[in-house]
Every structure is written in C-alpha cells, then in structure tokens.
Amino acid sequence: MIEGEDLVARIISCSIKLEEYIAKVYSKLADKLEYPEALTLKHIARESLNHASLLRDVSQVLGLQFKPENCRKLIGSTYESLEKLVSLTESTELDKTSVDLILRELKKAESSMSEEIYHSMIFNIIKDMFPEPQARIVDRIVDEIICEERYHHKLMEEVILAYFRKGVKK
C-alpha cells in the first residue's frame, strides 16, 4: 500500500470509530430521555452505525485496511470529546447530572460543526477514489450522508433545547 492510501485508510478508519462513538453515546442517552427526544437520538444512532457500515464497505472495496491509529491527532477535539463521553456513558449510571454534562459537551461539539466538516472532507476524498461512472454513484451516496450529518446537527440542537426545557426521566 502506498503512503497516500495508508493515510486514507487511517482517515476512513477514524471516521468509522467516530460514527461508532456517536452511536454509543446517543444510544445510552436515549435510554434516559423521553419521547420524542429518545426516539430522535435512537434514530441518529442508527444512522451513525449505517454510516460506519458504509465506510467499512468502501474500505473493503478500495482494498484498504482498518487502521484507527492516531485518531485524536487526525480528527482533533471532537474525537477526544467523544472518547471521553463514551467512557463516561460506559462507566457510570447516567443520572441527571451526567446527562446534563453529556448534552452540554455534545452541544459544544455540535456547535463547532467539526464532525460535519470532517465527514465532508472524508467523503470527498472517497468519491475521488472511484473512476467514472462509479464516481457518480458514490457522489450521490456521499451527498446524502453529508445531508444526513447536517440534519443530525439540527436534530441535536432541538433535542438539547427540549431537554433543558423538560428534563430527564426518572
């Protein structure tokens, strides 16, 4: 594998991990929220897992190895924040204080929009790796995922707003 392909493999692998982290955090949070916020988080978690699955498939088609190395350095603070949130959701029983903290951290991450920017970059790299006419198909899929990421951002803003108005279930 040439050096550029190694970098792409690491980038895609880190993006897979990022999507999996998002799914874990949102799934755990959904258990503590009420309808419709819980339903919304479960929906985002499922779509995040679908994005991770698609990225795994693309990696296989391109013959790239799974290499989630140096993801903190590659992705930055969003990745590091999500690592901490996954750890928090796995290590403690989520009470109102921890849910408040997690949602505040997610709000920071969402407001930075770094996940959306990162994914736009990743997906544009991916679609450039396919020849025509496959590139057009991949381009359409990539555009849909980028739109979904933007939609997730808007949904999370609504969930956070509703939560802080309503609160956590007992």
Confidence of residue 2 (pLDDT cuts 50, 70, 90): very low
Residues spanned by the domain of 153: 3-164
Q: What is the pTM of this model?
A: 0.82
Q: What is the pLDDT of residues 22-76, one digit of tens each?
A: 899 999 999 888 888 999 999 999 999 998 998 888 888 878 888 877 888 887 7
Number of other CB atoms surrounding residue 146 within 10 Å: 16
What is the distance between the terminal CA atoms of the chain, rounded to a whole angstrom?
52
In a domain, 97, yes or no: yes
CATH at residue 99: 1.20.1260.10
In a domain, 139, yes or no: yes
Give the residue carrying structure tokens 């590659």: 74
In a domain, 42, yes or no: yes
Q: Of 107, 21, 49, 115, whose CA–CA distance to 77 is shortest? A: 115
Q: What is the pLDDT of residues 88-109, one digit of tens each?
A: 888 778 888 888 888 888 777 6
Confidence of residue 1 (pLDDT cuts 50, 70, 90): very low
Could you give phi then psi for residue 137, rounded to 5 degrees?
-65, -50
In a domain, 169, yes or no: no
Confidence of residue 165 (pLDDT cuts 50, 70, 90): confident
Under 8 Å CB-to-CB from 161, ≥6 apart: which residues? none
Count up the domains in the chain and report the number. Answer: 1
Q: What does the block give as tokens for 129?
A: 């790796």
Q: What pLDDT score was predicted for residue 46?
A: 95
